[in-house]
Amino acid sequence: MYIRTMKQRFVDTLKRLWQNRISRHVLYWLIIYAAFYAIIRPFESHIFALRLATFFAASGPIPVYFHLVIVKRYFEQRRYVAYIVGLAIVIALSSTFSNFLFRMMEKDPDSHSSGLGFAVMYIVVSTGFRYYGRGVKQQYRLQEAEFKHLQTELALLKSQIDPHFFFNTLNNLYALSLEKSDRVPGVILKLSELMRYVMDSSQRKTVPLEEELRFVKNYVELEKLRFSGTPDIEVRIAGTMNGKYIAPMLLVPFVENSFKHGMSNTAKGGFVSVVSQVQGDDFYFTVENSKPEGAVNDERGSEGMGLLNVKRRLELLYHGSGQLSIKEDEKRYKVELRIRL
């Protein structure tokens, strides 16, 4: 317990030091000093390597920080003449200090170093690191903003799908209630199950494929209650779904539109066929329905809100691994969806 407490205190101390700007910059220069020593030591004695590393590290702060000041005050404010003058002063000051430091360490008045070269080197390197770091931060901010935008857009798209679905379902329930049908309790039960799924799945990015398909099947069973006799409606599910996940409420608009166009708008009943299959990592979902006689374009032919939302969600969530194909002829519509799960 004591060791764990001491370890946590040590970690907290390091975090505080790193968050402090001065201590962080001191650490930078200590690392630079150690790097110079490590480079020189294999070729020179320990004492000489320490002295030379000290000279290299001590020559850096003046060109680095003075140049940073004039960059912020002049260059970034587009006062280029003032920046050039300031740069010349910084280089001259740094060069003079480097030569003085070298003579003092060597204790030889006639000795000198290439102070100008050191000044230019530090200015170039520090400027490169500064703008590279700024570019990385800017890229991170852009990615974060894009991610938040996509999350907001996805939430909006889901909110547009869910009310659309329940609006149709409540209309069905209303029609049955007017008929005083014994099927009303069954419809209410199915509707409550569907609402529970929507509420649960709305908080998740993905749901088990098995749950999504069970939701589709329950929806179809609910729709069947509206039709008397034996309507031509089939649902076929094949393949192993263990460990497969999909975006919630992604498949419902296809089935919803199929009933709207394949059954409700067809005088002679029509048909709806829903087929899903899992092959390896690929999920295939096909919805086919009859087309009313004389129909030219309807919601699906004119890219209605439901399908537009689904297409946009496919782009945002699956980035090209989801393919949607919509076909039609004089007698039927067919929607084919393939997703790499």
Residue 68 clears pLDDT 50, i.e. is over it: yes
**Higher model confidence: residue 140 or residue 145?**
140
Q: What is the mean pLDDT of the chain?
A: 78
Contact 259, 272 (CB under 8 A): yes
Q: How far apart are CA 65 and CA 123, in angstroms?
A: 9
- How sure is the predictor about 4, in pLDDT bands with cuts at 50, 70 and 90? low
User: Which of 104-118, 155-169, 230-244, 292-306: highest mean pLDDT?
Assistant: 230-244
| pTM across the whole model | 0.53
- Least confident span in 133-147, 214-228, 327-341: 133-147
Residue 295 clears pLDDT 70, i.e. is over it: no
pLDDT, one tens digit per residue, over 159-168 is 555 565 677 6
Q: What pLDDT was estimated at residue 213? A: 93
Residue 32 clears pLDDT 70, i.e. is over it: yes
Q: How far apart are CA 161 and CA 168, in angstroms?
A: 11
Q: Are strands 282-290 and 271-279 parallel, antiparallel or unpaired?
A: antiparallel
CATH fold of the domain at 182-340: Heat Shock Protein 90 (3.30.565)
- Least confident span in 231-235, 247-251, 295-299: 295-299
For the segment 47-70, the average pLDDT, to the nearest whole number, is 83
Long-range contacts of 321-327, Cβ-Cβ distance < 8 Å, separation of 24 or more: 326/300
Q: What pLDDT was estimated at residue 265? A: 58
- How sure is the predictor about 156, in pLDDT bands with cuts at 50, 70 and 90? low
Residue boundaries of the structural domains of the chain: 2-142, 182-340
Contact 161, 209 (CB under 8 A): no
Radius of gyration of the chain (CA): 35
- Least confident span in 107-111, 272-276, 309-313: 107-111
Contact 235, 271 (CB under 8 A): no
Residue 320 clears pLDDT 80, i.e. is over it: no
Task: Return the closest-CA partner of residue 248 out of 313, 297, 336, 295.
Answer: 313
pLDDT, one tens digit per residue, over 98-131 is 877 777 776 655 555 666 777 888 888 888 877 7
Q: Can you tell me whether residue 312 is helix, strand or coil?
A: helix
For the segment 20-48, the average pLDDT, to the nearest whole number, is 84
Contact 91, 119 (CB under 8 A): yes
Q: What's the Cα-to-Cα distance from 173 to each of 126, 167, 180, rounded to whole Å?
A: 71, 10, 10
Residue 310 clears pLDDT 60, i.e. is over it: yes
Residue 330 clears pLDDT 90, i.e. is over it: no
